Amino acid sequence: PEVLNLVFAKPVKSKVKFWQMIGRGTRLCPNLYSPATDGSDDKKKFLIFDHWGNFAYFEQEPEEEEPNASKSLSQKLFEARLAYAEEALKRGEMDSFGKMIALIKQDIDALDNNSIAIKDNWKLKQQLSQIDVLHQFAPVTKAQLYEHMAPLMQWRNIKGEGEALKWDLDITTAQYAQLCQPRQLDSVKEQILTKVRSLSMELNQVRSKASEIRALQQDDYWLTANFDTLEHSRQQLRPVIHLRDKGPTPPPVEISVIDIKEDIGEYQVEERKTNIRTVDYEIYRQEVEKTLTPLFDKNPVLQKIRAGEPVTKAELDALNALIHTQNPRVDLELLAEFYPDSSAGVDQLLRTIIGLDVDAIEQQFTAFVQQHHINLSALQQRFLGLLKSEICRKGQMTIADLYEQPFKGLHQDGIDGLFQDQQAELIATFVAGFTVDTHSVKSQLDIASDPPA
pLDDT (tens digit per residue) in 99-142: 999 999 999 999 999 888 899 999 999 999 999 999 999 999 99
3-class secondary-structure state, position 217: coil
Rounded-to-integer distance, Cα 213 and Cα 201, Å: 10
Locate all alpha helices (DSSP H) within 358-400, ordered by sequence: 358-372, 378-394
Q: pLDDT at residue 447 above 60?
A: no
| Buried-exposed string 299-330: b where 16+ CB fall within 10 A, e elsewhere | bebbebbbebeebeeebbeebeebbeeeeeeb
**Over the range 76-85, which residues count as b (16 or more CB within 10 Å of their CB) and which as e?**
bbbbbbbbbb
Among 103, 221, 106, which residue's Cα sits nearest to residue 172? 103
Q: Quick check: helix, strand or coil at residue 414?
A: helix
What is the C-alpha to C-alpha distance for residues 452 and 291, in angstroms, rounded to an integer?
Answer: 14
Place 450 in a pLDDT band, splitting at 50, 70 and 90: very low
Q: How far apart are CA 452 and CA 290, in angstroms?
A: 11
* 421 or 284, higher pLDDT: 421
Q: How confident is the model at residue 340 (pLDDT cuts 50, 70, 90)?
A: low
Distance of alpha carbon 167 from alpha carbon 163, whole angstroms? 6
**Model pTM above 0.75:** no
Report helix angle 346-354 to 281-292, nearest 10: 90
Residue 278 confidence class, pLDDT cut points 50, 70, 90 = very low
Mean pLDDT, rounded, for 34-48: 75
pLDDT tops 80 at residue 329: no
CB-side exposure of 72: number of CA atoms within 13 Å? 15
Radius of gyration of the chain (CA): 36
Question: Is 392 within 8 Å of 434 (Cβ atoms)?
Answer: no
**Whole-angstrom distance, CA of residue 137 vs CA of residue 181:** 22
Q: Which of 392, 391, 412, 390 is closest to 403 using CA atoms?
A: 412
DSSP 8-state symbol, 145: I
Residue 166 is inside which H or E element, if any? helix 162-180
Between these two residues, 335 and 47, which has the higher pLDDT value? Answer: 47
Q: Is the dihedral of CA 335, 336, 338, 341 positive or negative?
A: positive
Over residues 249-261, the mean pLDDT reads 76
What does the pLDDT read at residue 445? Answer: 32
